[in-house]
Amino acid sequence: MPHTLRPIEYFVELPAPQTQNVTIRMVVHNVVSAHLDLALPVWRTGRYAILNPAGTVHRVRAQKTSGATLAISKLNKTTWRVETEGSSEIEIRYSLYANSLADRTRHVDDSHAFLSGAAVFLYVPDHRDYPISIGIDAPPHWRLACGLDADADDPRSLVAPNYDVLIDSPIEIGDHESFSFDVEGIPHEVVIWGAPAVDVGKLTRDFTAIIQKEAELFGGLPYNRYVFIIHTGPGLGGGTEHLNSTVIQVPPAAFEEDTAYERLIGTVSHEMFHVWNVKRLRPAALARTDLTQENYTDLLWFCEGATAYYDELVLARCGLLQGDAYLQKLGELIHQVRRRPGSRVQSLSESSFDAWIKFNQPTSDDMNTTVSFYDSGAVATFLLDMEIRSRTLNRVSMDSVMREMVRLFPDSGSGYHTEDLVEVISTLAGTRFEDFFRRYINGIDPFPLEERSGIVGLQLALDSQELKAYSGLILQDHNSQTTIRYALSDGPAHMAGVLPGDEVVALNGRRYNAAQFAAHVELFMNPGDSAQLEVLRRGRQRSIEFALGSLPKGRWRLSRIPGATAAQREAYSDWLHQSWP
């Protein structure tokens, strides 16, 4: 692209942030056509769902640089057309309501402005590769954090090589706490909005350990600077990966309680792993995304599931999670995956492809008909790791696969397909893996974890074979009502006609809340007992009777094999980076 092209300019104006409104002024140069089309993406990177943020855009206006108004019309839900009247430079101004914090798209109030580019900045489709500049007019005491570089002459002006980098570089400006540290000579900044007092020393040590361990796996850090943007508030959770930054949301307890803090550093590990897996190593469908519609891939189980497998494994490898604690967590994840009826219905490749209409569009039947490409993907990656180690006597592992995939499919390329992943694994292992993918990724065969875990000295088993009564119902309490959240298809209540949303009035003549109901069935009823359920449905009371089924009381647990061989103990240490106790 010629270096003479002038950047597309954006100016963010926050004259009254307390109203949660933002004004964007946009200047487009090098206009040569009779009309100029402008659009806003319908989704944002890292969340595979149609969000349609254009619904919060209002008062879109266009003019020449002389000030003369230009006609503008709406072509569809997310596209505007400006009649240029021969002008080569067009100024567009629009307003945006920014009150979407939990989906990590845009949020403004009197303490900060968080702007994720895909939900904020209009773009010119045929100018998508043009350079970008962003100027920000905000309260003078607010501080700016972003993965983009600042303009050399103005610390409140940012530059991006193109629109794709802009929308992969969220902006946080406001009244926040921050601190910095270096890893391998590369600066890292942590910005915390809404946080209570934090232990900077502890966060620095733990974040550094995670980054170093993942850099060790991949052979170095692929960026010049990295920014952690952390939002703190009640009910917040989750994270989104970006090119040189991440947005992580946590409740205040993350800085106050050990369990919540463990979830925080697990999210840090997950998002950092995405620096390689997703942000550099991309499926072909995500290498150059279409911003106007869904982008389908059958590889989200690898993008997110493999990352979910590694997030807590990395915590164990860098000493932030002890071996027994890690095995307990992995065993519990396996338990949850095995207990989900949807694992007998939907494959991981199907779950990945249908993320746009199923995973991110949840229904009350999800547990019965779908799997999570995060959770099941993580367990499948564990199985794949064990399978590779078993076939190669621990010479090759998932670590080898991740490194080779990043080497062969750099972010500058056109991405990879499932066939490429199969070929890389097969070549490294010296044995073919098509059948593995046919059965466990594209198919719904049960994962043979009991047979494969022994390579690293582990055994998987139920901790109790004793049976308990089972209804297949999961209840929830809300506004003094107890309702059915899920009626699992492997339980008797489902076939009896109990429906999600039914309000539970009584079980065998007595009223229970959600916790009491579960405890009563498990502790005081037996398989085969009659359950008389009184429910309210659409204002009418119904009586539904069924016989309770049965389910093992135990949970699936991973533990070390007593009397493991020297080879198993050595493989365990190679896998976990911890010595066999």
pLDDT at 450 over 50: yes
Predicted confidence at residue 1, as pLDDT, reads: 43
Predicted confidence at residue 237, as pLDDT, reads: 95
pLDDT in tens, 464-511: 999 999 999 999 999 999 999 999 999 999 999 999 999 999 999 999
The arithmetic mean of pLDDT across residues 320-326, rounded, is 97
First to last CA, the chain: 59
3-class DSSP state for residue 383?
Answer: helix
The arithmetic mean of pLDDT across residues 330-352, rounded, is 98
Return mean pLDDT, the chain: 96
pLDDT at 412 over 90: no
Burial 394-420 (b: 16+ CB within 10 A, else e): bebbbbbbbeebbeebeeeeebbbbeb
| pLDDT band at residue 339 under the 50/70/90 scheme | very high
pLDDT at 210 over 90: yes
pLDDT in tens, 252-291: 999 999 999 999 999 999 999 999 999 999 999 999 899 9
Predicted confidence at residue 411, as pLDDT, reads: 85
Report phi then psi at 313, rounded to 5.
-60, -40
- H or E stretch at 369: helix 366-369
The arithmetic mean of pLDDT across residues 123-146, rounded, is 95
Give residue 85's region: left, alpha or beta (phi > 0; psi -120 to 50): left
Predicted confidence at residue 280, as pLDDT, reads: 96
Token representation of residue 6: 């002038």
With 0-12 / 13-18 / 19 or more C-beta atoms within 10 angstroms meaning exposed / middle / buried, residue 487 is buried
| pLDDT band at residue 174 under the 50/70/90 scheme | very high
| pLDDT band at residue 382 under the 50/70/90 scheme | very high
Tell me how far CA of residue 372 lies from CA of 342, 417, 489, 578, in angstroms.
Answer: 9, 20, 17, 29
Beta bridge mates, 178: 191
Q: Tell me how far apart the alpha carbons of residues 246 and 170 are, in angstroms, rounded to a whole number.
A: 8
Helix, strand, coil fractions of the chain, as percent rounded to 5: 35, 30, 35
What is the reported pTM?
A: 0.95
Token representation of residue 426: 């097969």
CB-CB contact of 500 with 487 (8 Å): yes
| pLDDT band at residue 2 under the 50/70/90 scheme | very low
131-135, 169-173, 409-413, range with the lowest pLDDT = 409-413
pLDDT at 395 over 60: yes
Closest to 211 measured CA to CA, from 242, 172, 185: 185
CB-CB contact of 282 with 415 (8 Å): yes
